Amino acid sequence: MKKFLLSTLFLCITCATAFSWGQTGHRVVGQIAYDHLTSKAKKNIQDILGDEQLGMVGNYMDFIRSDSTNDFMSPWHYCTIPDGKTYEEAGVPEEGDAIQAITRIMAELKTKQFSYDTELENLKYLVHLVADIHQPLHVGNGKDLGGNTVKVDYMWDKSFNLHRVWDAGIIDNQKLSYTEYCNWIDHATDDQISQWQSEGIMVWVDEAMGYRKNVYDFPEDGKLRYEYDYKNLSIVNERLLKAGIRLAGILNEIYG
């Protein structure tokens, strides 16, 4: 019984680290990407998606977590780079991580030779994981399971941890639908789009790490109120926008 309980606890902790942008966040990234696709890419992607929409499929990898046969995908949602180390110094875990998964899926979508599942499945994985790696706490420091063990009182709700605040709390606190959110933040210039789409995955990771000081800057009592939102909302919006723009760049290259 003790062994069973420990195994269950480990599984819960492992799964907790894999949670990502909430449903609104993933839909924002997918919709922004769709809005920046070429006409050819839109047609080719829609042929794969059928009746589904790019703005809605980003949550798929969270939905399939209910099936334990997909547990091997949990490490794909994040990577761990301790403070003061590079990705190379930290080393790639045997089970893989977000960087490895994104790189592999991009290559397989180009060659149509898939290690897991179909082109449709892998397209959904890519939409999800590009968004994930832009969430600062999905590039963890190796100390607190990406903020999952940091309990906080967010807007008078004590059920939060720091990871959940960044996944969904700040976004949902704006009280916008995902289409309203897209209209609010999607104002990138042509120069910004060109620059962001030219930057590789390690730039995305370095950006995420660069926000650690902001993420962990809160009172010792763990009470996160309007000031925390005010200081970090622009970061959340920038990460969502860059994720969508960069995802569009990848999909245009593959399908456009």
Tokens of 207: 């950006």
Q: What is the mean pLDDT of the segment spanning 72-95?
A: 95
pLDDT value of residue 2: 37
Angle at 15 between CA 31 and CA 143, to 5 degrees: 100
Tell me what pLDDT residue 248 has: 98
Which domains are assigned to the chain?
Answer: 2-255 (1.10.575.10)
Cα–Cα distance for residue pair 91/250, rounded to 1 Å: 25
The tokens for 42 are: 């839109």
Cβ neighbours for 217, distance < 8 A, ≥ 6 positions apart: 231
CA-CA distance, 98 to 57, in Å (whole number)?
A: 18
> For the chain, what percent of residues have pLDDT higher than 70?
93
Q: What is the 3-state secondary structure (H, E, C) of the chain?
A: CHHHHHHHHHHHHHHHCCCCCCHHHHHHHHHHHHHCCCHHHHHHHHHHHCCCCCCCHHHHHHHHHHCHHHHHHHHHHCEECCCCCCHHHHCCCCCCCHHHHHHHHHHHHHHCCCCCCCHHHHHHHHHHHHHHHCCHHHEECCCCCCCCCCEEEECCEEEEEHHHHHHHHHHHCCCCCHHHHHHHHCCCCHHHHHHHHHCCHHHHHHHHHHCHHHHCCCCCCCEECHHHHHHHHHHHHHHHHHHHHHHHHHHHHHHC
Minimal CA–CA distance to 100: which of 133, 62, 60? 133
- Joined together, the tokens standing for residue 57 give 């499929």
* Beta bridge partner(s), residue 151: 161
Rounded to the nearest 5°, which phi and psi values hold at 171? -65, -50
Q: What is the mean pLDDT of the chain?
A: 93
Q: 108 Cβ partners below 8 Å, 6+ apart?
A: 114, 115, 122
Indicate if the pLDDT at residue 78 is higher than 80: yes
Range 141-162 average pLDDT: 97
Quote the tokens at residue 17: 């680290």
Tens-place pLDDT, residues 7-53:
333 333 333 444 578 999 999 999 999 999 999 999 999 999 999 99
What are the tens digits of pLDDT across the range 91-149? 999 999 999 999 999 999 999 999 999 999 999 999 999 999 999 999 999 999 999 99
Nearest one of 46, 76, 24, 92 to 244, comparing CA atoms = 24
What is the mean predicted confidence (pLDDT) over 166-188? 97
